[in-house]
């Protein structure tokens, strides 16, 4: 029995949750879960439908994108995951989807404005849309460069990946992360819900104002601040 059985199961369940939540169809999307101690991560195999995916199909890969265990090819987006894991050392899972409203904002090349408390309960900033990559980066090591593009976006805007656990990659779609793979999936679902609400808000009132700072702080702090009083 593999010593990664537990991590593979965690990764498998997070991938299946992506499907159960309606964030993906067919073989779209992927979730990974990291093992910091051994310097590797579990990730969905490429092009395998969720209907037939099994825990033992999950592939173990190191941060140099080498397969450590598994007979299947890992997700084509593996290098994006690897890059983000090496850059952001306190994240434990990453999820990528083609969820409808998230993709629509990415295709529109627009940040999702913070319009309400549903958004502020989870993050204090607009959800950034990283611009599409320059041609030489696309034609080079594309998936690795997608990771760089995400990190560059966060650096340029002085965003913290801890406070903003999600991003849109322009013309492509969303990536989200968290302490665990399950939390990364949670953030993917929240992103999709917020993306739909923001879309409808602008349809009802194209001049809808962003949420005021006091409400952003209040809602974020009551859930995530030093004196948080949400949850158990």
Find the binder of its own copies among 11, 33, 60, 106 (CB under 8 A). Answer: 106
Structure tokens at 158: 């002085």
> Which are the catalytic amino acids?
121, 230
Q: Which one of 30-38, 83-91, 105-113, 154-162 is the stretch in contact with its own copies (CB under 8 A)?
A: 105-113
- Segment lying near its own copies (by CB under 8 A), choices 83-91, 103-111, 149-157, 176-184: 103-111
Spatial neighbors of 47 by CB under 8 A, at least 6 apart, are 27, 76
The C-alpha atoms of residue 194 and residue 170 are separated, in whole angstroms, by: 17
Work out the angle between the directed axes of helices 78-87 and 142-156 (0-180°, nearest 10). 40
Which one of residues 2, 76, 86, 160 is an interface residue with its own copies (CB under 8 A)? 76
Cα distance between residue 74 and residue 60, in whole Å: 8
201 lies in the binding site for its own copies (CB under 8 A)? yes
Nearer to its own copies, 9 or 222 (CB): 222
Site string for its own copies, 130-169 (x = CB under 8 A): --xx-x--xx--x---------------------------
Structure tokens at 200: 């409808």
- Nearest distance from residue 89's CB to its own copies, in Å? 27
Regarding 67 and contact with its own copies (CB under 8 A), the answer is: no
Contact flag: residue 171 with its own copies (CB under 8 A): yes
**Do residues 127 and 104 make contact, with C-beta atoms less than 8 angstroms apart?**
no
Q: How far is CA 216 from the centre of its chain?
A: 22
Sorted by sequence, the CB contacts under 8 Å of residue 50 that are 6+ apart come out as 15, 16, 18, 19, 24, 26, 27
Residues lying near its own copies in the complex (CB under 8 A) are found at 25-28, 45-48, 72-73, 76, 98, 100-101, 103-110, 115-118, 132-133, 135, 138-139, 142, 171-173, 186, 189-190, 193, 196-205, 208-209, 211-212, 214-215, 218, 222, 229-232
């Amino acid at each position: 029995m593999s010593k990664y059985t537990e991590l593979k199961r965690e990764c498998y369940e997070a991938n299946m949750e992506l499907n159960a939540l309606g964030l993906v169809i067919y073989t779209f999307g992927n979730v990974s879960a990291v093992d910091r101690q051994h310097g590797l991560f579990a990730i969905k195999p490429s092009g395998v439908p969720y209907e037939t995916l099994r825990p033992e199909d999950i592939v173990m890969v190191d941060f140099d994108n080498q397969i450590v265990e598994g007979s299947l090819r890992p997700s084509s987006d593996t290098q994006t995951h690897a890059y983000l894991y090496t850059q952001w050392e306190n994240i434990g899972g990453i999820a990528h989807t083609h969820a409808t409203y998230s993709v629509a904002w990415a295709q529109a090349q627009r940040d999702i404005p913070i319009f309400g408390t549903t958004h502020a309960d989870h993050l204090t900033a607009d959800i950034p849309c990283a611009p599409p990559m320059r041609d030489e980066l696309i034609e080079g090591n594309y998936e690795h460069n997608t990771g760089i593009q995400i990190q560059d976006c966060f650096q340029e805007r002085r965003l913290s990946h801890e406070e903003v656990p999600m991003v849109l990659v322009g013309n492509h779609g969303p990536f989200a992360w968290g302490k665990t793979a399950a939390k990364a999936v949670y953030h993917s679902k929240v992103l999709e819900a917020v993306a739909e609400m923001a879309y409808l808000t602008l349809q009802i009132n194209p001049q809808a104002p962003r949420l005021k700072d006091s409400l952003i702080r209040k809602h974020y702090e009551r859930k995530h601040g030093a004196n948080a009083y949400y949850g158990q």
